[in-house]
Amino acid sequence: MDKLEEISRERESANRKLAALDSKVYAAFLAMERATYSDGALPRKTKELIATGIAVRINCESCTQWHIEQAARCGATLREILEAVEVGIEMGGGPATVSARFALRALGRVFPGELPA
């Protein structure tokens, strides 16, 4: 199983377990997440792009994968997501380029055949 599939599987498993355990904190987090990413002055797509840049900056692979996938579902193009990744690189300096490598793998899955080899 590749790393992206493993991260997705682990995230889904943990989500199910936390929900089954009736975690009040997790339920509150999900409510906050719904409120955060709902359309407002900024559309959801923009918020997902912001989150993508932040995820790269903080080197959270699961976050990076999730927000790239969500941005794409909201209609973000490969170029829009790449620019969000680039903002994360700039904000993080050299170490963020390592996180960007993972983001490129996630982009390759969301946009198969569109990235150079």
Mean pLDDT for the stretch of residues 13-33: 95
pLDDT bracket for residue 95 (50, 70, 90): confident
Question: 80 lies in a domain?
Answer: yes
Exposed, middle or buried by CB within 10 Å (0-12, 13-18, 19+), for 95? exposed
Quick check: 26 and 18 in contact, CB under 8 A? yes
Q: Is residue 116 part of a domain?
A: no
Q: Is residue 115 part of a domain?
A: no
pLDDT at residue 1, as a whole number: 66
Between residues 61 and 96, which one has the greater pLDDT?
Answer: 61
Look up the domain containing 105 and give its range.
3-110
SS3 of residue 38 by DSSP = coil
Q: How many domains does the chain have?
A: 1
Give CA 41 to chain center in angstroms: 21
* CATH number reported for the structural domain that contains residue 94 in this entry: 1.20.1290.10
Q: Give the predicted TM-score (pTM) of the model.
A: 0.86
